[in-house]
């Protein structure tokens, strides 16, 4: 059996590692920073901070020893927030380059404006993509942890390792499709978090499904436009990483980004929310990056731009919505 190490003990990292430990009935190690969570998993088989009330497999083994565990692993899985991923790559540089790497993290780094795989190439070298797989799609951690059937998509430049992971990780609980459009699923999985914030704002403003469905549909066009500009294929945005994940995070209140948007609409500031939340809402950092990238590349992103103004310029959400509704009228399939 392959030795598997999960780096990151948030809700998704814990749920995915626990799935592998349970479904494949093998030991899976999970690296965490927090001593209290390590102790909670060891003694109570529960991540009481990020995945409370979910009983974890005895095969899930917590550890605080990052470098030695990376050296010992055959497969390293990443579930680290995008704002911390650079430091993680730097910490394991020189010992991860010969491992099979499965990335679950989503987002753009707000300083370099790079996706997770682009950041990996910068720090670990271009050849890292020959050992790299990204998994994305509609997948709430708590539902996978409860064994709800979940379907995702995986992408890699190396079809041999992609097909191996697809086969080894799939089961009657998790089904994995494959694609070679890495940039496409990275863009889709990142920007959907920005749109989930917008969906939460709609809910917090007391608006209903007419507004939310319109948001999701137009956001799909917006995300596609952005991704195609970066070299992605249009059909990726019709699939699991695109419309699938977008629907989940915009209609599902389990989304951290959705919850953040709802609280913003009800009057809390971003600073207040971040101080009182133990979980990272990836959409905040991604909103910064998308604003800068879309300005630089001259890509029309009206919804994402309004989310940016609400989060960082304290724009009134209802005023932002009114401006979106009053944009110049055009054909539905106009690229702008």
- Tell me the average pLDDT across 146-151: 98
End-to-end CA distance of the chain: 50
pLDDT digits 0-9 by tens, 224-254: 999 999 999 999 999 999 999 999 999 989 9
Contacts of 165 by beta carbon, 8 Å cutoff, 6+ apart? 75, 100, 102, 133, 154, 156, 176
- Lowest-confidence region among 165-179, 182-196, 276-290: 276-290
Question: For 94-124, b where at least 16 C-beta lie within 10 A, e where not — what string?
Answer: ebbeebbbbbbbbbbbbeeebbbbbbbeeeb
Check: CB of residue 121 under 8 Å from CB of residue 90: no
CA distance 166 to 100: 13
- Tell me the average pLDDT across 258-280: 91
Residue 213 has pLDDT above 60, yes or no: yes
Residue 126: which pLDDT band, with cuts at 50, 70 and 90?
A: very high
192 annotated active-site: yes
For residues 317 and 279, the model is more confident at 317
- Lowest-confidence region among 86-90, 218-222, 277-281: 277-281
pLDDT digits 0-9 by tens, 85-95: 999 999 999 99
Residue from 192, 203, 288, 291 carrying the catalytic annotation:
192
Question: What residues does 100 pair with on adjacent strands?
Answer: 75
Residue 281: which pLDDT band, with cuts at 50, 70 and 90?
A: confident
Residue 335 has pLDDT above 70, yes or no: no
pLDDT at residue number 72: 97
Q: What is the mean pLDDT of the chain?
A: 96
Q: Are strands 4-7 and 28-31 parallel, antiparallel or unpaired?
A: parallel
Instruction: Report pTM.
Output: 0.95
- Tell me the average pLDDT across 314-335: 92
User: In angstroms, what CA-CA distances link 125 with 60, 96, 100?
Assistant: 31, 11, 14
pLDDT at residue number 336: 54
Complete domains list, the chain, with CATH: 4-180 (3.40.50.720), 189-325 (1.10.1040.10)
């Amino acid at each position: 059996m392959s030795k598997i190490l999960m780096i990151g003990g948030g809700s998704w990292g814990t749920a995915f590692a626990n799935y592998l430990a349970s479904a494949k009935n093998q030991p899976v190690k999970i690296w965490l920073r927090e001593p209290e969570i390590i102790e909670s998993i060891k003694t109570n088989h529960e991540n009481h901070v990020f995945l409370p009330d979910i009983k974890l497999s005895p095969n899930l083994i917590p550890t605080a020893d990052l470098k030695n565990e990376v050296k010992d692993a055959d497969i390293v899985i990443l579930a680290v927030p995008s704002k911390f991923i650079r430091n993680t790559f730097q910490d394991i540089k020189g010992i991860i380059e010969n491992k099979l790497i499965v990335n679950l993290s989503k987002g753009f780094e707000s300083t370099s404006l790079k996706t997770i795989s682009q950041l990996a190439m910068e720090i670990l070298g271009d050849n890292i993509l020959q050992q790299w797989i990204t998994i994305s799609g509609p997948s709430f951690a708590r539902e996978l942890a409860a064994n709800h059937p979940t379907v995702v998509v995986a992408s890699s430049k190396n079809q041999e390792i992609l097909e191996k992971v697809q086969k080894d990780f799939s089961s009657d609980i998790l089904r994995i499709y494959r694609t070679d459009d890495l940039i496409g699923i990275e863009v889709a999985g990142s920007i959907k978090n920005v749109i989930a914030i917008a969906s939460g704002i709609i809910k917090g403003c007391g608006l209903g499904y007419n507004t939310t469905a319109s948001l999701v549909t137009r956001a799909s066009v917006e995300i596609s436009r952005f991704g195609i500009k970066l070299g992605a294929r249009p059909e990726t945005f019709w699939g699991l990483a695109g419309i699938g994940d977008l629907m989940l995070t915009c209609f599902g209140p389990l989304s951290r980004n959705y919850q953040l948007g709802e609280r913003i609409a009800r009057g809390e500031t971003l600073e207040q929310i971040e101080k009182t939340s133990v979980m990272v809402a990836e959409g905040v950092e991604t909103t910064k990056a998308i604003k800068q990238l879309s300005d630089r590349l001259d890509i029309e992103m009206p919804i994402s731009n309004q989310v940016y103004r609400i989060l960082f310029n304290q724009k009134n959400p209802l005023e932002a919505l009114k401006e979106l509704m009053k944009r110049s009228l055009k054909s539905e399939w106009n690229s702008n």
